Structures are given as C-alpha cells and as structure tokens.
Structure 1
Amino acid sequence: MNQQERVSPGTAAPAEGSSCSRLSPWVFLVSALAVKTALMTVGLVVLFHRSCGQCKTLPQNAPEWHCIPNVPASKKDSWKCCPEGWRPFQESCYYFSGDQMPWDESQQNCSGMGSQLVVINTEAEQDFLYKEIGRQMKYRREGFNLYIGLRAQEVGQWRWADQTPYNETAAFWRPGEPSNIPEEMCVVIHQKAESLQNWNDVPCTTSSYRICETAAVTL
C-alpha cells in the first residue's frame, strides 16, 4: 500500500505536464483571436465616428437626403446632396410642389423648408426647369403654372425674392409679357409654353404650384 501511495504521485505528475503542454497552443490561439477582435472593434469605432462626422454636416431640416457623385469630383467635396424628393442641378436643389398657393404663401412654404422661391440666373438653369416641367407634364392632366421668386413692388420694377437685381438679359418672358399692370405683380412659369420664353405675370393672389430652391450640400 505504501509503495502504491508513493508511486501514484509520481505517475500523476507527468500526466499533468502533458496536459498543460497540449493546452498551450490553444491558449495562444484564443489570445490572438481576442486581440484581433479588439483591434477590429477599435477600427469600427473609428469608421463610425468618421461617418457620423460627415452625417452631421447635413442639415436637419429634411428627414432623408439623396447624394450623388460630384462631377467633376474634387478631393474635398466628392458628393452633392439634396433633400429626398428634390431635383439636383449644378449647385442647387429644386422642389416642385404638388399643391397650389398664392405667391406669399408659396414663399413662406419654401422658407419653412429652408429654401425660397427659385431665382433663375442663367439660361442653363431656365432650360433645366423647362425640361423638368415637361417631364412632370406626363403625370398631370390639367395645365398648370408654377410660381418663381420674381415679383414687382411697383409696376415694372421687378426684383427677386433674395433681393438679386433683375437682369433683363436673363429674363424669359412669353411674347407680349409682362403686362405691367397693377393687378399682375407676380411671375409664374407657364407650363404650356413650347419654348424657354415661358414667364407670365399674374395676380399674386392666384393659387399656383411653386418651385423652391436651396443650395446643395457637398461632402
């Protein structure tokens, strides 16, 4: 019995040493995986913060934004973003309303969305609006007019909503317009016109659709 008791501890010790030797590679592997997981977590946190840093540059006045690549792309600003449902063109975003209001209410509605009634500065911009209105004609049966940001405080003294001076060389009146009468002091784009010359002055109390414009956000 005493010999067996002396032998048992001696025979058990090699078995424990062998077990520890077999476990050592597994311990190393688990440790390496833990370190790798930690590094990946740190990387994801960094990317998350970078992403959020960009998202914070988008104003909060729209629930969703639609971004497209800038052309040509620059190193700093590679994306141009507009509120969802707005149409991009150059450095601006345009909203074509689905309801009608008088001119003052139209301007207030645009202002409530962080924009204003459209200010048309170039023939290229007028051409974009003309084509976009033509595209929307497919979805509307009746003829329609759309308010722009041009209005007269006095007969014939036209001024844009953002106080941009009126430029006759960048005006696109229909033939025989403007009427220049006290009853017609606000301007619409006449949808049925078949050319870029489609502005018409109307009473400001007339309910019409509207085009709002705001600056695009670049990221």
Structure 2
Amino acid sequence: MMNHQERVSHGTAGPAEERSCSWLKPWVFFISVLVIKTVFVTVCLVVFLHGSYGQYKILIQNATEWHCVLNISAGKEEVWACCPKGWRRFQEKCYYLSTDKMPWAESEQNCSGMGSHLVVINSDDEQEFLFNWAKEVPTKAYETKYYIGLTAYVNGQWQWVDQTPYKKAAMFWKPGEPNLLFAEKCAAIHVKGNRDSNTYSNWNNVLCFTNCYRICELTVKFV
C-alpha cells in the first residue's frame, strides 16, 4: 500500500515541476534581452562620446567639472580657456584657495591630488592678484596665512616646488623676513585682516607643521 502511494506521489510531482519551469522561461528570456540591450546602448554611448568629445579628455583627468570661457588669442583664433569649477583664473593660470588648514607637506600633497601644486609666484601682478583675493575671504581671525610652494626644509635652501630658481624669481618677504631659518622653513602669504594694504611684501616663513590655508595652482587648459 505504501509503495503504491509513493508511486502516485512521485508520479504527480512531474507535471507540477514542468508547469513551474514553463512559467519561468518567459521571464528568463525577457531579462536576457534587457541585459543585451543595456550592454549595446552602453557601448554605443561610449563610442559616441569618445568620437565627439575626444578633445576634452585632458579635462577629466584631475577634476570632475570645469568652467570654460571663450578666449580669443593674439592670432584671433577662438579657443576655450578652462579651469576646474571653483577655481579662479588669472592670465594663463588657475588658482584655488582652500577653506581648510593643514601643514605644508599635506598642503602640497593635497594640491598634487588635484593635478596641481602649491602656487609659485613669478610676478608683481600675480602677487597682487593673490593677495587681494585672499583679503576678500571673510574671516574673523586677526590674521591668516596661505601656504605657497616655497620651502627650505631640504638642505636649508629656499626652493620652489616646480624647481624655479629661487634667486631669479620675484620675492615678496615682509620686512625682517625670513627669520629663524633654523626652524621656520616654509613660506606663506600673510594677511592681517581685510584692511592690510601691504600688497607686495607680505610673505612670512613659518614652522612647516603649522596648520595654514593653501593656494594651489595649475595651468589653464585651452581646448
């Protein structure tokens, strides 16, 4: 009797399984088609974007968003001059003023992570632009400091991060600075409130582990 019931039980299981499998097959087919279409559309978009916007590939290496303005060169050729969004352009450079503080080495590392370096100041115009911009930043502090790409912690000699010869570059030290060179081996733009009128002579050397703001610099991208 039990054998007969087992045979009946096994015999009735087959059709149920077949019905279940036949019910799933349309869904499997639908999902497979959807996956294939998704892959196809993705490949088409990649090919299209590569062909249409290849000239902008350099812009996405170090930043996610760029701000571009139409620039007419001396030869009257129209090109786009681009800086990362949130940076400010002056002549052919882009500049970033940080809103947080860190030591000099970490500041340079942070700039490098954005495809730039701590600013190297080469002219009176550049110094005045940066100093006036720094004064615009609202702050309640009596004084603020912005690291620049100048340091003497290697061999005790002042050196720019881009290897620009120190003695051939413009210098804007405050009167009496740099001093205490045995300890203070990193340079910063020094701003005393927003009323400081000392535009051309405001560099100060500080201890390199001092937490200061920073100014990053990179070359404008022309496309």
1:146 aligns with 2:159: no
- Residue type of the partner of 1:62? A
Unaligned runs of 5+ in 1: 1-46
Q: 2:215 is matched with which residue?
A: 211
Distance 1:73 1:169, change over 3 A: closer
| TM-score (norm: length of structure 2) | 0.70
SS at the partner of 1:150?
strand
- Residue type of the partner of 2:202? N
Q: 1:96 is matched with which residue?
A: 97
Q: 2:132 is matched with which residue?
A: 131
Q: Identity across aligned pairs (percent)?
A: 52
> Deviation at 1:78?
1.6
Q: 1:20 is matched with which residue?
A: none
> Deviation at 1:55?
2.6
- Residue type of the partner of 1:79? W
- Residue type of the partner of 1:64? E
> Deviation at 1:48?
7.8
Q: 2:70 is matched with which residue?
A: 69
Q: Give the CA RMSD over aligned residues.
A: 2.2
Instruction: Kindly name which structure, 1 or 2, has the bigger radius of gyration based on alpha carbons.
Output: 1
- Residue type of the partner of 2:132? K
SS at the partner of 1:93?
strand
Distance 1:58 1:75, change over 3 A: farther
Correspondence list, 1:149-188, <5 A: 149-152=149-152, 153-155=154-156, 157-167=157-167, 170-188=170-188
Distance 2:64 2:214 in 1: 21
Distance 1:129 1:71, change over 3 A: farther
- Residue type of the partner of 1:106? S
| TM-score (norm: length of structure 1) | 0.71
Distance 1:74 1:51 in 2: 26
Q: Which of the numbers 192, 199, 202 marks the counterpart of 1:198? A: 202
- Conserved 8 A contact 2:122-2:169: no
Stretches of 4+ moved more than 3 A in 1? Answer: 47-51, 71-77
